Structure 1
Amino acid sequence: MTTPNMFIVYVRDAAAAARFYGDLFEMKPVFETPRFIAFDLGGGIQLAVWSGADENFSFTGPRTSELCLALPGGPEGIDNHFRKWVDKGVDIVAEPYDEVFGRTFVVADPDGNLIRVAPVD
C-alpha cells in the first residue's frame, strides 16, 4: 500500500514560515534549504514549507486544504489551546465553536494557509 508521507505548504518566505510553524507547533526543522524546510511529525510523516517550485510547473486552481492539529482533552483542551495561540498573536480565522465533530477553531499562517484545531476522533 502506498500512503502519503509529506504535506507541503506553499509560502512566500520559507525561513519566515518555518519560524512560524516551529514556534506554533514547538518543533525544529529536520531538513533545511533556502526555499524548502521540513519538520518531522513522527511515524515517517513530514510537514514542509516551500517557497518555490519548478518554473515548468503551473497550477492556477484554488488552494482548498488546511492542516489539522487533533488534540485530546475535550472542549476545554481546545479552548485552552486557542488562548495559548491567541497569546502568540496568531491570526484567528474562526474562534472556538462546536462543529459536528466537536469543538474547533481555525487560524491562518502569514500566507493565509489555514490551520484547524479539533478534538481527537
Structure 2
Amino acid sequence: MNRELVFIVYVSDIQKSVDFYRDLLEVETTFETPRYVTFGLAEGVALALWTGESSALAGEPVRTSEVCLNVTAEQVQETYDAWVAKGVRVIEEPHEDVFGTTFVVADPDGNRVRVAPID
C-alpha cells in the first residue's frame, strides 16, 4: 500500500511560517501552494503548514498537540543553543522529563515545537 503520513500545523502567515520551519529544521519544501506547503521529513512522512484553518488560531487557543524533533541526547542542548541564537521564543527551557532532557519553543503562531532525545 502506498501511504504518506502528514502532520498538519495551522498557521496564519504561510510565508512567515515556511521561513521559520525551513530555518529551524533545516529542510526544504517539497510541495507549495499559496495556502498549503509541505516539507518531506522522511520516506512517507511530511510536515504541512496550512492557512485554511487559521481561524482556529484566533485568541488564545488551547494547544493540545506539538511537533517533536527527536535527536541524540547529546544534541538536545546543542539544538537548544542553536535555536535560541536564531531568536526563537522559548516556552520551556531544557529540563528533565520521563524521556530525558527536553525543551519546547513556539512557532510564529504559538504552535509548540519540542526537542527530545531519541528513544
1-structure distance, mates of 2:7, 2:48:
6
> Normalising by the residue count of structure 2, what TM-score does the alignment of the two structures yield?
0.88
Task: Give the aligned partner of residue 17 of structure 1.
Answer: 17
Q: Does structure 1 retain, via aligned residues, the 8 Å contact 2:3–2:44? A: no
- The C-alpha deviation readout for 1:31-68, integer Å capped at 9, x for no partner, is 10110000001111110000114xxxx8xx84410010
3-state SS of the aligned residue for 2:108? coil
Aligned length: 114
Structure 2 counterparts to residues 72-91 of structure 1, below 5 A:
72=72, 74=73, 76-91=74-89
Q: Does structure 2 retain, via aligned residues, the 8 Å contact 1:15–1:35? A: no
> Normalising by the residue count of structure 1, what TM-score does the alignment of the two structures yield?
0.86
**Alpha-carbon RMSD:** 2.2
**Which sections of structure 2, spanning at least 5 residues, go unmatched?**
none
Q: Does structure 1 retain, via aligned residues, the 8 Å contact 2:76–2:116? A: yes
Give the Å deviation of 1:2. 9.6
3-state SS of the aligned residue for 1:27? coil
Q: Does structure 1 retain, via aligned residues, the 8 Å contact 2:63–2:112? A: no
Structure 2 counterparts to residues 7-46 of structure 1, below 5 A:
7-46=7-46
CA 90–5 in structure 1, closer or farther in 2 if over 3 Å, else same = same
- Larger radius of gyration, structure 1 or 2? 1
Identity %, equivalent residues: 50
